[in-house]
Chain A
Amino acid sequence: MSVDAATVRRIAHLARIAVAEDEVPHLQGELNAMLAFVEQLSEVNVEGVEPMTSVTPMQMKKRQDVVTDGEIADDIVANAPATEGHFFLVPKVVE
């Protein structure tokens, strides 16, 4: 399988990465090189094979449903590029 220019633009949008028109052919070539490389997986017989979900056989750990952390709003917003009080600022999303 390979991707065309329209698919490159669609992936870029899904990934929320702005891609300029003149970058598309280059990206298309690189993505297709990667897709050509992984193509060899189609020759593996995976009939009846379970997909891996955990590399170590282990029971999913469960925690007590209790509050163990919190009251750190200052820490949470400390590195934000734009804040007001304990809120993150973003461009208007609702008219």
Chain B
Amino acid sequence: MTDLTSLTLAEARKGLADKTFTSLELTDAHLSAIEKARLLNAFVLETPDQARSMAREADAKLAKGEAGPLAGIPLGIKDLFATKGVRTTACSKILGNFVPTYESTVTSQLWRDGAVMLGKLNNDEFAMGSANETSCFGPVGNPWRREGNNTTLVPGGSSGGSASAVAALLCMGATATDTGGSIRQPAAFTATVGIKPTYGRCSRWGIVAFASSLDQAGPIARSVRDSAMLLRSMAGHDPKDTTSVDIAVPDYEAAIGKSVKGMKIGIPKEYRLDGMPAEIEKLWSEGAAWLKAAGAELVEVSLPHTKYALPAYYIVAPAEASSNLARYDGVRYGLREQGKSITELYENTRASGFGAEVRRRVMIGTYVLSAGYYDAYYLRAQKVRTLIKKDFEDCFAKGVDAILTPATPSAAFGIGEKGGADPVEMYLNDIFTVTVNMAGLPGIAVPSGKDAQGLPLGLQLIGRPFDEETLFSLGEVIEQAAGRFTPARWW
């Protein structure tokens, strides 16, 4: 029998249905892979007992023919999702040993459909980062390394643990969240598939909040089909999140293999950056050629406000974060540092509980919202956001079905290589992904090739609001043309 961990989710579903193996066997194979991969630091909490008990339950349901669409499939959960009775920290010291008394809507839907939880995955502290280096549990290793070089690289962030675990065959899929690129950038760095659905598609209830108008949950998986299967379970209306949209969730898997003939694909000229590596440029034209060969029509489009998306994001996101993170006060949960007065208690708790990146963003957010600066920064950024969204609307109004761009401006880099002197250097990682959050659109990153050093690169497809299906159809075309990529095991 082939190693059970190397199956795709779709293959595992078939094996379970055919009784080739049980969920318990599948789960045990993954638990043992996780144990052997601690060097990657992808999991911050392993839950083997819970995993086995969920697997046994799934096996019982499979035997009775009552299995849900994800019955017996072992998954990893980003530590931003509240899991009832299981420590949830957002990888911040300030949450300490927080054990939720409730379950996030997204994860509860995965369990409803029969999935098995293997444990909680590492991420940047409060999802603030692009390299998974700001986690209080330390950095995550990317299973990919440069050819002939033993330097450990970052898996991207903030969903670095999710991407690393899926690429290293430690779980069949993972939950992730994306505020500025946190699903798509790590997916591109690890040759996995990551989709950020339209804002409002997945409930944010029970997910630790970073920037509420930008945050969306989505899956990271090893194939386009697997990501479609996971999103179908994760998505759906939830009365507990007023921004969750009450429209039916389609059978995303049905979009896989659908013809893309006649679809109009926009190539935005503003994404062609000065000094962009030639291999990114090459990857992009290759992707366009694959879609064209499948019958799609390519058109050049213009998104004139693209360059302002990242600076506007670094006003809007920290502003919302400074408000959301006000709840960490040392009184209601998590860490507490003593103080002589209540203010001192707050100040000491937050100084010691938040890491450097989080402190910086809370402070900048506080500044741009403070009296006298609100109009100049926050209000202006929200106006620019309106313009960014309008760029996309104008483009879709001309009949464009989806937009093709590179997912990241480079391949993965080494731990500690970026952002040490200037935080903006790290922020530039999200230059191609952040526009999508600002406009609330769906975006998928699909592995598309490798750079000269043998590191994976990905392409991004951006869709119309609530048209994730088109992204799955187009993503499948890219996956079929590019093939799938697996790292050589070194951990």
Contacts and interface: CB of A to CB of B under 8 A. Distances in A.
B437 to A, nearest CB: 9
Contacts of B351: 17-19
Contacts of B362: 15, 17
A12 interface: yes
Interface string B310-345: 011011000000100010011111111001111111
A33 interface: yes
Most chain B C-beta atoms within 10 Å of own C-beta, residue among A8, A13, A46, A54:
A46
A20 B373 CA distance: 25
Given A18-B347, A63-B239, A41 B308 contact: yes
B109 interface: no
B307 interface: yes
B346 interface: yes
Interface string A64-75: 000000001001
Contacts of B346: 16
Nearest to B98: A79
A33 B342 contact: no
Given A11-B366, A15-B322, A33-B423, A91 B341 contact: yes
A80 B327 CA distance: 12
Contacts of A53: 382
A38 B377 contact: yes
Nearest to B366: A15
A41 B363 contact: no
Nearest to B365: A15
A55 interface: yes
B383 A80 contact: no
Contacts of A13: 347
A17 B367 CA distance: 13
Interface in B243-292: 243, 245
B311 A81 contact: no
B424 interface: yes
Given A15-B363, A63-B239, A75-B101, A37 B427 contact: yes
B40 to A, nearest CB: 29
Question: How would you classify the secondary structure of chain A's contact residues: helix, strand, loop or mixed?
Answer: loop
B237 to A, nearest CB: 10
A69 to B, nearest CB: 9
Interface stretch (B179-187, B217-225, B384-392, B407-415): B384-392
A78 B99 CA distance: 8
B38 to A, nearest CB: 27
B242 interface: yes
A50 B383 contact: yes
A34 B342 contact: no
A41 B384 contact: yes
A88 to B, nearest CB: 5
A39 B380 CA distance: 11
A50 B366 CA distance: 23
A29 B305 CA distance: 28
B424 A51 contact: no
B379 interface: yes
A11 B347 contact: no
Nearest to B331: A88
B196 interface: no
Nearest to B343: A16
A90 to B, nearest CB: 5
Interface in B158-214: 198-200, 213
A50 B379 CA distance: 9
B307 A40 contact: yes
B363 A12 contact: yes
Interface string A16-36: 111100000001001101110
A19 B311 CA distance: 26
A34 B330 contact: no
A43 B383 CA distance: 13
A6 interface: no
B383 A49 contact: yes
Contacts of A14: 366, 370
A50 to B, nearest CB: 6
Contacts of A52: 213, 382-383, 385-386, 389
Interface string B352-376: 0010000110111011001001001
A17 B311 contact: no
B120 to A, nearest CB: 16
Contacts of B333: 79-81
Interface string B442-473: 00000000000000000000000100000000
A28 to B, nearest CB: 10
B128 interface: no
A90 B379 CA distance: 36
B232 interface: no
B76 to A, nearest CB: 23
B156 interface: no
Listed from nearest, the 5 A-B pairs whose CB atoms lie closest are A55-B440, A51-B382, A79-B333, A81-B336, A18-B351
16 contacts: A1-B376, A7-B367, A11-B366, A17-B351, A18-B347, A18-B348, A19-B351, A40-B311, A41-B311, A41-B384, A55-B440, A72-B101, A79-B332, A88-B331, A93-B341, A93-B342
Given A41-B308, A54-B213, 9 more contacts: A18-B347, A39-B311, A40-B311, A51-B383, A60-B242, A63-B239, A75-B101, A79-B99, A93-B342
